[in-house]
Amino acid sequence: MVRYEVFDARDLLSFPDGDNSTDTVFGGIHFNLTTLKHWNYTYYSNGTLSNNSKCYLTYEPYQPVLLYTNGSFINATKCYSAVDPIGVRGYVGIGFAAVFGIALMLTLTTLAKHGKMYLPKEKRFYPIGRRWQWYWGCFVCACALISLFTNIDVDRYHVQELPIIVTSFFWFLICQGTVALVWESVRHWGSWQERQFVDPNPFVYRTDDRRSKVEFYLPLWVYFWIWMNFFLVVPRSWTFVEMQRSPEQTLAKTIPTATGARFKAGAFCLVIASLTIVYSLRHSIYHYKPRNRGIFNRTWGFIKAIPMRFVLTIPLCLALVAYQVLISFDWTFSVMRYGGIVPVIFAWGYGPPLLILFVQIIYGFASPNEDKALIAQRRQRGEVIDQELGIVKKPAWWRRVRGEHLYTLRDKITQNVNEVGGKRGLKARFEDEEREPPLGGDLVTRSNNNTIEMNSLSHNPRVDRAGVGNLSSMGESRRYTGKSDRRHNERVVEDASGVIFPNNAEAERQAQRERWIHEISQDGPPSYSDTDRGRSTRHDGSNNAQRNDSTDTTDSTAAPPQQVRSMLDV
């Protein structure tokens, strides 16, 4: 690939004088000046020799040894080589890169902690919503590592090339990722507050009110401005950054582009996104925190409701955006400047993202997983409800003492069935109750409903509880041996009413039931007969009915029509 060098005319120098008019000297070595001019080599003020396709260093100890007549050098060092020692910017970059590497590992740990699910997925609260802040944290760490490791070669390159471009490119990605990180942390905090309200009561908040619409459109609004910053800054030619080979070239080509309109507009986009983060925090506090009356109380309540990590991360995010705004107007403090002010570049350019990451990491280790926190809240609500109902749960050792921990599923089902009334079905138990004799006496049939035996209730504790224990006789009674307290009380009331009112309603209900059964048995279509269907039968000596082979249907048409008595006959 042919590289075309771009130098300003004011960077050109005349060749050093040699022994004669066709001789020049570089680093104590003589070269043929006629050959150099023939191949269009030019000597520049930064100590390089270039013909717009090849560039070589001319100062000791990197000067060429020999020049051939075809324009090629022996033992020459190209301009785009890391030949200088690591400077202050490189050493500071190594330290920051190591700290960002630690932050990356810790961020992955917190992502594993908070991203794990202990409850089923909910359509209203997706699991990825709480993971986005950690994803953006990993993105910021990755971009910072690339930017800082390539930053080492910025000082080592005598002629700037790819390292300073990569460093500047990924620094702008760090800004975008940091704003997105802070935004996701604030947005998810509001979502977590809402989830704690919705979990005990899913209908506490509407899904079509102004609050929900604002929370739907705010992410779109924020990411729109972040992506606008990306499209204004990133997709462009970045060769202007390496045009710092001389002061004249820097003033003519690098500074006008680095402080151009696109960088200013991109910084303005991040300002809008940062202000939206502040509004989102205010929106969440307004809807999910207690409200106060009065300007002073409302302001103080708003300050107390702000989580401590947002008190730190939001100002740091605003400081980072302010630095991008500053370098879009003033080249002196720019991160793209070769030989720039190192304390400002790292303290203001790389410091806020690093501090935001560690604030997030401390929060991640200090706070529990949200699913676990929600499970604990549900357990606390259950304990409060049990206390209100007077339910006391048995200790954990209770099941082991009773041997219930060894029960199989079949044993548990059998135990539950026995607790609700035995193995037989409900209908069968009702039939048994209908056939049972009265308490304390012999079997009495339904036709003897009016017969009263005075000894039938003499030892009936249920009737004693009903207040008729002194009576020695009653009407028809049925013993109830089940475990249902409701049916037990109903039988007591029926027995008592049968004693107080001999002509009780039970006999009337039984008579009405028998009348219904009789009517149902009489209702319906007539019994089947061959003569009704137009068939004739003949009986032989063996008393077996045989079908007639005649096709005569006179009897069928002469028979009276069938009368439909109810819809069941149709």
- What's the pLDDT score for residue 303? 87
Percent of the chain topping pLDDT 90: 38
User: What is the mean pLDDT of the segment spanning 508-532?
Assistant: 59
Q: Which two tokens stand for residue 173?
A: 């990605």
Q: Is the peptide bond before 202 cis (omega within 30 degrees of 0)?
A: no
> pTM above 0.75?
no
The C-alpha atoms of residue 406 and residue 415 are separated, in whole angstroms, by 13
User: What is the mean pLDDT of the segment spanning 115-142?
Assistant: 91
Query: 189-201 pLDDT, tens per residue?
Result: 999 999 998 988 8
**Residue 551: band (very low, low, confident or very high) from pLDDT cuts 50, 70, 90:** very low
Query: 268-303 pLDDT, tens per residue?
Result: 999 999 999 999 999 999 988 888 887 888 888 888
Q: Which two tokens stand for residue 260?
A: 């151009």
- Judged against a pLDDT cut of 60, whether residue 437 lies above it is answered with no
- What's the pLDDT score for residue 475? 39
- What's the pLDDT score for residue 439? 45
**Are 473 and 454 a contacting pair, CB within 8 Å?**
yes
- What's the pLDDT score for residue 136? 96
Least confident of 151-155, 206-210, 496-500: 496-500
Query: 168-214 pLDDT, tens per residue?
Result: 999 999 999 999 999 999 999 999 999 998 988 888 888 888 999 99
- What's the pLDDT score for residue 244? 86
User: In this structure, how many other beta carbons lie within 10 angstroms of the beta carbon of residue 377?
Assistant: 13
Q: What is the largest CA-CA distance in the chain?
A: 157
CA 28 to chain CA centroid, nearest Å: 69
User: What is the mean pLDDT of the segment spanning 366-395?
Assistant: 89
Domain ranges for the chain: 9-74, 88-379, 426-522
User: In this structure, how many other beta carbons lie within 10 angstroms of the beta carbon of residue 519?
Assistant: 9
- What's the pLDDT score for residue 517? 66
Least confident of 365-369, 475-479, 516-520: 475-479
Q: What is the CATH number of domain 88-379?
A: 1.20.1070
- What's the pLDDT score for residue 461? 44
The C-alpha atoms of residue 547 and residue 382 are separated, in whole angstroms, by 77
User: What is the mean pLDDT of the segment spanning 54-61?
Assistant: 84
User: What is the mean pLDDT of the segment spanning 374-390?
Assistant: 89
The count of C-alpha atoms lying within 13 angstroms of the C-alpha of 448, restricted to the half-sphere facing its C-beta, is 11
Average pLDDT, the chain: 79
Nearest alpha carbon to residue 154 among 85, 223, 63, 95 = 85
